[in-house]
Amino acid sequence: MPSPRLIVGRVLAVEAAHGFVFVDLASDAPIGAVAEGTELIARTLDLHETGRLRASRYVRGRTLGTKIVSGQPSPGDEVVWLAP
């Protein structure tokens, strides 16, 4: 059975002082995952969750701006969306 978690991209940069994370979107990132307000999960490659993010309306090319909801994501972490 396929995972309901769809890969959105990878953490490109973390601006911890302001609580922002910039995500490098995968070429096949699901459209629903980048809608403003969507909750995303940051995790290590061994699937350990590092943070929860909320998508903002900031999208420039393949970069999505998100707000940190919880945790401490790091550059290189995988970002996934739990599809409804």
pLDDT at residue 83 in the model: 79
**Residues 69, 82: contact at Cβ < 8 Å?**
no
Residues in the chain, overall count: 84
Calpha distance 84→82 (Å, rounded) = 6
| 5-82: CATH number | 2.40.10.170
Q: pTM, whole model, 2 decimals? A: 0.92
Determine the average pLDDT of the residues in 42-51.
96
Instruction: Tell me the two tokens of residue 18.
Output: 């302001």
Mean pLDDT for the stretch of residues 49-57: 98
* 1 pLDDT above the threshold of 60: no
Comparing 31 with 38, the larger pLDDT belongs to 38
pLDDT value at 84 more than 90: no
